[in-house]
Amino acid sequence: MKPIFPMHITIKDLQRGFETKYDFTPELEANAKDLLERVNKCIDMVDAQLVLLGQPKISPVRVTSGWRPKAYNDTIPNAAKKSRHIFCQAVDIADPGERFTKYLEQDFKKYGKDSILAVCGLWVEASQSVNGWTHLDTGVRNDASYGVFIA
């Protein structure tokens, strides 16, 4: 049976070809599936609201960074050493003008525990710390599984 909503982001999009060189363990796969379920739902929810507002959707989306195998992450200047990208718990999506990030920030400010981030169980990196992309992850910060964080 086909899913009702299109899969905006797939495991392949997260792997970015790294699976041919590095071991994509069952744990990484489980993390990736959990992340994608939340992120795809988040995109659907934002798109649905944008349609009601008569604004262009966020989708189709383009992943600019997904899984970063540890050995690879270590070679990136300024990359967090314990980045959630290493564990398939984070994804970056192209976001010109930080439109997607700002939408999630405003929704969170307005609705808090009933926000899209809360419903999906996602953290977004604050618009002030990103430049042209949206970073979403399934981390836990201050005992919370959702919110806006400043890197």
Q: How far is the CB of 134 from Zn ion (least distance, A)?
A: 9
**Cβ atoms of residues 90 and 35 within 8 Å:** yes
Identify whether 69 is preceded by a cis peptide bond (ω within 30 of 0). Answer: no
Q: Is 92 in the site for Zn ion (CB under 5 A)?
A: yes
Closer Cβ to Zn ion, 38 or 135, answer by number: 135
Q: Is 98 in the site for Zn ion (CB under 5 A)?
A: no
Residue number of the CB closest to Zn ion reads 135
Q: Is 105 in the site for Zn ion (CB under 5 A)?
A: no
Contacts to Zn ion from residues 31-90, by CB under 5 A = 90
Q: Is 95 in the site for Zn ion (CB under 5 A)?
A: no
Stretch that binds Zn ion, among 25-33, 34-42, 68-76, 132-140 (CB under 5 A): 132-140
Q: Three-class SS of residue 104?
A: helix
Q: Which of 53, 60, 1, 26 is nearest to 11 (CA)?
A: 26
Encoded tokens for 130: 């990103």
Q: Compute the distance between CA of residue 139 and CA of residue 16 in angstroms, rounded to an integer.
A: 21
Residue ranges in contact with Zn ion by CB under 5 A:
90, 92, 135
